[in-house]
Amino acid sequence: MNQPQSWEARAEEYSLYGFTDMPSVHQRGTVVVTHGEGPYIVDVHGRRYLDANSGLWNMVAGFDHKGLIEAAKAQYDRFPGYHAFFGRMSDQTVMLSEKLVEVSPFAHGRVFYTNSGSEANDTMVKILWFLHGAEGKPQKRKILTRWNGYHGVTAVSASMTGKPYNSVFGLPLPGFLHLTCPHYWRFGEEGETEEQFVKRLAKELEDTIEREGADTIAGFFAEPVMGAGGVIPPAKGYFQAILPILKKHDIPMISDEVICGFGRTGNTWGCETYDYMPDAIISSKNLTAGLFPMGAVILGPELANRVQNAIEAIEEFPHGFTASGHPVGCAIALKAIDVVMNEGLAENVRNLAPRFEEGLQRLAQKPNIGEYRGIGFMWALEAVKDKATKTPFDGNLSVSERIANTCTDLGLICRPLGQSVVLCPPFILTEGQMDEMFDKLEKALDKVFAEVA
């Protein structure tokens, strides 16, 4: 067989690309990566890029953390693979569940493992359907989420995701309802205060529950800060306004901490940062610092007890993945939790967050930046055509993609999301690397705005 010559051509010949703008790939080629050094990735041509995306938010300890690699190697030597079915599981699985409950905001809890964040959300939905059915409410099945929320790509988690692109799959499935995104700057109405905006969203939730009937709603899922929706922190007081409503109607609140969990917002959990207590937590990505595909559902005490009782009643919970609780994934997660929480990584996020914000504040003075927003090590700059009216650029100009592509040319990876550019670097970033990031980003902004403004 004739092999095309370049890595880029070979990638394009044989790969089906996901979440990729194909015209850009055809025009610019694929960045084929061979390895990483700290927060940098290196491509087949030896070019280095500061990855201010942490891979996909997940490589929080960088791309060559020796301690994590050693933990993986040691576990491969000891016991390289197992499952968690039929009353058997690895010692690492036992230890990780203990650890996750210990570091969770819950006094007690139970953990179920998956291979991804999408599967963890799917699993949580199945747990809720199972629970409500077992408690005599089989009609309690609808799921509430928000527009712009991202919860994954499986048929159920994509139905939870509030993005119009899922219509190409004929999704969402029936019974998945999306509420207003709590982004005050973009969705606050003329003359509406932030407090009034939050009240309006709380009323929308009340009205939705009233209309649909609380006994038809299985649960409400929310990211503390929306990540893939464009880094959208909640409007002030949002969770405090909606949680009592959910509680009053016996609708479990699930905090999807796939991005926010383990340090991204500066604390262990996003719900800690935004001061609310969910009924369960979804974790993935940072859980293994990106070194192993793994997700986890962590049930808080009340759900844990109710679900366990429901399982005892029928003697078995018919759900699980071959690699649920994989010993290597668990060993890596145990090490990753230790590295992030005890080796100064979360501390670095807390220490450098003010400097991060200062840098963005400065860039946001530019006439075509409408807003900067974020917390910890997750931030976005939103481009606008007109700052005063917040009018976006014509979508055909692909402004954020152009900024991100120019950054790539300069050796910086950042992510275009809508009209925003997202920065979510590894937690090991130094002050010097942060300066490099802002330097390159500013050059890219100036170049692109000169072209389109």
Chain residues that interact with ligand PLP, rule: CB under 6 A: 116-118, 121, 150-152, 223, 227-228, 256, 258-259, 284
CB of 259 to ligand PLP, least distance (A): 4
Order of strands, edge to edge, in the sheet holding 40-43? 33-37, 40-43, 48-51, 412-413
Q: By C-beta, is 360 or 422 nearer to ligand PLP?
A: 422
Q: Are 39 and 426 in contact (CB under 8 A)?
A: yes
DSSP state of 380: E
How far is the C-alpha of 342 from the C-alpha of 237, rounded, in Å? 30
Q: By C-beta, is 259 or 334 nearer to ligand PLP?
A: 259
Q: By C-beta, is 117 or 426 nearer to ligand PLP?
A: 117
Q: By C-beta, is 92 or 288 nearer to ligand PLP?
A: 288
CB of 435 to ligand PLP, least distance (A): 28
Q: State the residue number with the nearest CB to ligand PLP.
A: 117
Contacts 24+ apart (CB under 8 A), 34-39: 35/63, 35/64, 36/62, 36/63, 36/64, 37/62, 37/63, 37/64, 38/62, 38/63, 38/64, 38/426, 38/428, 38/433, 39/63, 39/425, 39/426, 39/428, 39/429, 39/433
CB of 227 to ligand PLP, least distance (A): 5
Q: By C-beta, is 143 or 209 nearer to ligand PLP?
A: 143
Beta-carbon-side half-sphere exposure of residue 418 (alpha carbons within 13 Å) = 17
Q: By C-beta, is 256 or 382 nearer to ligand PLP?
A: 256
419: which residues sit within 8 A by CB, 6+ positions away?
382, 383, 384, 392, 393, 399, 400
Q: Where are the beta strands (DSSP E) in 33-141?
A: 33-37, 40-43, 48-51, 110-114
How far is the C-alpha of 84 from the C-alpha of 319, rounded, in Å? 11
Q: By C-beta, is 223 or 272 nearer to ligand PLP?
A: 223
Of 410, 415, 405, 403, the C-alpha closest to 28 is 405
How far is the C-alpha of 113 from the C-alpha of 297, rounded, in Å? 6
CB of 19 to ligand PLP, least distance (A): 10
Assign 3-state DSSP to the chain and report helix, strand, coil percentages, each to 5.
45, 15, 40
Q: Are 333 and 97 in contact (CB under 8 A)?
A: no
CB of 163 to ligand PLP, least distance (A): 12
Q: By C-beta, is 97 or 118 nearer to ligand PLP?
A: 118
CB of 153 to ligand PLP, least distance (A): 6
Q: By C-beta, is 101 or 287 nearer to ligand PLP?
A: 287
Q: How do 280-283 and 253-256 pair as beta strands?
A: parallel
CB of 118 to ligand PLP, least distance (A): 3
CB of 148 to ligand PLP, least distance (A): 11
How far is the C-alpha of 123 from the C-alpha of 168, rounded, in Å? 24
**Which two structure tokens, joined as six digits, stand for 190?**
């003329």
CB of 45 to ligand PLP, least distance (A): 28
